[in-house]
Amino acid sequence: MKGRILAVSGSDSGGGAGVEADIKTATALGAYAATAITALTAQNTLGITAIHPVPPDFVTRAMASVLQDIGADAIKTGMLHGAATVAAVADMLERYAPDIPLVIDPVMVSSSGTRLLSEDAIDILIHRLIARAAVITPNIPEAAILLGRPIDGLAAMQQAAADLRGLGARVAVVTGGHLAGATVHDVIADADGVTLLTAPRLDTGATHGTGCTFATAAAVGLAQGLAPRDAIARAHAYVHAAIRAAPGFGRGNGPLNHAITL
């Protein structure tokens, strides 16, 4: 194994997203994954039926336990759920991991429409986590919430990625799966400007956990010493391949084949 990541996120009982996807992705890309679970969810491919938040002090104990012993070469955050948890995670990162690259997947709403981040947590997320992130990976609806405006096309995505860097993230990636069209565009904004990653749209319902998987794959790349653009490009290719090879489980929005590289 090369590279250690700490995934701070919720648990998906269906196994397609959350820390389950984080662990599978890290393993498939040859890295080691440790976790701090922020919430338990009862869900499957049809949606989420219950959420049980983990107390913030337990989340921070889990983070400290990992960082004080195993360590991490990159940290990824996903579902943080509440303002108290976001603040507690920010405190722990400032104390134990000020120089470790941070990848933020600003999980706000599930693909089935369930709210996963409280309204009062958004400002804390922006000012205490995004402001220090190495990479942030919102999809279009998440980027629209963070910027407070609609994003209705490729040009708007490009401007949104650039503006998200203005919140402090060194690299912003806006993923474009929510836009219609035969081609899916992911937009990257960094110090060198704005660029695109493109892939043909796959005719499939197996897209559950794509955001978690993409962000974790990017974090793994950073942990393994890749430059940010290279880490993001590999994550983009990995997610596309995992969607293409999806196993077809469930009656709704199904999981990816995280084991595609194996």
Mind listing the pLDDT tens digit for each residue in 213-248?
999 999 999 999 999 999 999 999 999 999 999 999
Q: How confident is the model at residue 115 (pLDDT cuts 50, 70, 90)?
A: confident
Angle between helices 83-96 and 56-67 (to 10 degrees): 20
Give the pLDDT of residue 112. 62
* Structural domains in the chain (count): 1
Query: Given the structure tokens 């108290």, which residue do they identify?
Result: 84
**Rounded average pLDDT over 166-175:** 96
Bridge-based pairing of strands 135-136 and 171-174 is parallel
CATH at 234:
3.40.1190.20
Integer Cα distance of 188 and 164 in angstroms: 10
Share of the chain above pLDDT 70, in %: 99
Segments forming the whole domain that contains residue 114: 4-261
Mind listing the pLDDT tens digit for each residue in 46-76?
999 999 999 999 999 999 999 999 999 999 9
The CA–CA distances, whole Å, from 179 to 65, 73, 149, 204 equal 41, 33, 16, 15
Give the pLDDT of residue 148. 92
Integer Cα distance of 19 and 38 in angstroms: 10
Its pTM stands at 0.95
Q: Is the pLDDT of residue 136 over 70?
A: yes
1 three-class SS: coil
Q: Is the pLDDT of residue 86 over 80?
A: yes
